[in-house]
A and B are shown apart, each in its own frame.
Chain A
Amino acid sequence: MATDNQGPLWEVFVQKKSGQPFVHCGSLHAFDKEMALGNARDLYTRRGEGSALWVVPAAAIVASSPEDIGPFFEPANDKVYRHPTFYQIPEGIKYI
């Protein structure tokens, strides 16, 4: 099986039921959009996993890098007031 010329990489997102979020489930190789969608159907929905599919060229995804963990995500760790559970709700309040 050829390994050198399988086409660009695509990321696959499956929606289990209408209304639910599309969840990333894997990747595949394909040469064009239609082939990518077909391959996604054949690879990732053979056992009733979904009712809708997205395929996205992997190159189109902008990703954070491991070095970004510090500046991107750690500042959120000590800001408990960003969680709703931080606030006590006074008794007797009906609408919030």
Chain B
Amino acid sequence: MTTKEALYQYTLRLGDAGLILSQRLSEWTSKGPFLEEDLALTNITLDILGQANLLMEYAAQLEGSGKTADDLAFRRSERHFFNPLLVEQPNGDYAQTILRQYLIDVFDFLFYTELTQSADATLAALAAKSVKEITYHVRHTAAWVDRFGNGTEESHARLQKALNELWRFTDELFEMNEVDEVLLKEKIAVDLNKIKPIWKQQVYATLQQAQLSIPENVFMQTGGRKGKHSEHLGYILTEMQYLQRTYPDAKW
């Protein structure tokens, strides 16, 4: 695998994570728990979509055959998406959405902070822009984890249920393959082994503060890096790609 091929795969993978997550989150728009929180989550969703859009544009450029970001977003099937399984999991109740988002926000914060040091100038610049946005996202979702965890009996129970449901998708965030190896040599990629212990430390601290018990001996799910997804991604793509599939090249 050449560096350029690896860089395309890497950028696409990051773009997929943001695209699928923002598509998932957008399901909440206009249905949030109350007006202010609806807007707050929609802001976060748009930040993530914006990050994904820039990554997709860069990926399209790297791919080099004249494809656009839209082609990558709307004209690939399930097996050609490389997002982690966590981002495609259903929203569930608000506790589940918040917990999923919190776990991802901490990861993204650490990841993009490291990526600002990338030898690839474009990725480094994208990362610098993203870190500012993500800093706010973590603050927002961590505060909700605390509120739910230390709130009422019901909010605590719902948050614990969400943690039990989602914990099995967390290991995959740190998986590395040939793409990472090629790019690590070039100092382009982030060493995920390096950020894993920091992520664990931060997340454990927040979850313990929220009086949650972290599931043990969980069988960790995997597959996203290889394009093997849970059944949920197909439904997300069906909705997201509907227009381009029904009316190819439609413009307005």
A residues at B contact (CB < 8 Å): 1-2, 5-7, 28-32, 34-35, 38-39, 41-43, 46
Contacts and interface: CB of A to CB of B under 8 A. Distances in A.
B36 A29 contact: yes
Contacts of B36: 6, 28-30, 35, 39, 42-43
A6 to B, nearest CB: 4
Contacts of A7: 34
B143 A6 contact: no
B198 interface: no
A46 B83 CA distance: 29
A7 B33 CA distance: 12
A34 B143 contact: yes
B34 A38 contact: no
Nearest to B42: A42
At the interface, is chain B mostly helix, strand, loop or mixed?
A: helix
B38 interface: yes
B39 A42 contact: yes
Given A31-B147, A35-B143, A42 B40 contact: yes
B168 interface: no
B161 interface: no
Given A31-B147, A34-B143, A38-B140, A6 B43 contact: no
A89 to B, nearest CB: 53
The 7 lowest CB-CB distance pairs between A and B, nearest first, are A39-B36, A42-B40, A6-B34, A42-B43, A42-B39, A28-B36, A34-B143
A39 B39 CA distance: 8
A2 B37 CA distance: 12
B97 to A, nearest CB: 15
Contacts of B34: 1-2, 5-7, 29
A53 B32 CA distance: 24
A68 to B, nearest CB: 32
B40 A39 contact: yes
B35 interface: yes
Contact of B40 (A6, A32, A38): A38
Contacts of B39: 39, 42-43
B185 interface: no
B139 A38 contact: yes
Contact of A1 (B35, B40, B43, B147): B35
Interface string B139-152: 11001000100000
Q: Which of B31, B36, B43, B143 has the most CB of A within 10 A?
A: B36
A34 B146 CA distance: 12
Interface string B112-152: 00000000000000000000000010011001000100000
Contacts of A39: 36-37, 39-40
A41 to B, nearest CB: 8
